Amino acid sequence: MSSIDETKQFVPLNIAVLTVSDTRSLADDKSGATLADRLTAAGHHLAAREIIVDDVDAIRVIIKRWIADEGVDAIITTGGTGFTGRDVTPEAIEPLFEKRMDGFSIAFHMLSHAKIGTSTVQSRATAGVAGATFIFCLPGSPGACRDAWDGILAAQLDYRTRPCNFVEIMPRLDEHLRRPKAQGASA
């Protein structure tokens, strides 16, 4: 089990929240509000919050903008992870991943199964890294967002979590993009 190392200082992240829905507005977006409330209560900063329709190109425009924004450390989406014709969040975002985070989906489904049983198979929750930005795609229900935040993200986005967490590896996420040093160059 993970634990919090109280000798380390909390490092607030800038986290953007995107709700993918054809029917929600900010006034009735309970899932986006759940995520925004929980991440700010934990001490992080809400870098941005938007709602976009279930459309691959529209979703990618926002996600690519946030990936390119140095002021966004992580992105959490809610909605569009089901199986209906309009559920296209994984199709929109997974091609942007440089690295896929298969363990997130497994952990999410384990948590979800404990709460809703086999109905968890109706979610295509996914996560990955793109442009040194963590991206987590959650189902559109407030309960699923609450479970994912409380059960996975709150700990993994906290620098004090031991034995390991996402924050401590953030400085190395883009190391593959850096040019190698010339032979014989000094550090």
The predicted pLDDT at position 187 comes to 42
- Of the pLDDT bands very low, low, confident and very high (cuts 50, 70, 90), residue 2 is confident
The predicted pLDDT at position 180 comes to 55
Which CATH architecture does the domain made up of 8-172 adopt?
3-Layer(aba) Sandwich (3.40)
The predicted pLDDT at position 141 comes to 96
The predicted pLDDT at position 174 comes to 84
- Phi and psi at residue 177, to the nearest 5°: -90, -15
Integer CA distances (angstroms), 95 to 85, 92, 98, 126, in order? 19, 7, 8, 12
Task: Using alpha carbons only, give the angle 39, 120, 109 rounded to the nearest 5 degrees.
Answer: 60
Residue with the two structure tokens 């909390």: 10
Residue 45 CB neighbour total at 10 angstroms: 15
The predicted pLDDT at position 182 comes to 45
Average per-residue pLDDT in the chain?
A: 93
The predicted pLDDT at position 69 comes to 97
From 148, 77, 142, select the one nearest 111 (Cα to Cα). 148
80 Rama class: left (phi>0) / alpha (psi -120 to 50) / beta: left
Q: How confident is the model over 9-42, as pLDDT tens digits?
A: 999 999 999 999 999 898 999 999 999 999 999 9
| Region 34-60 average pLDDT | 98
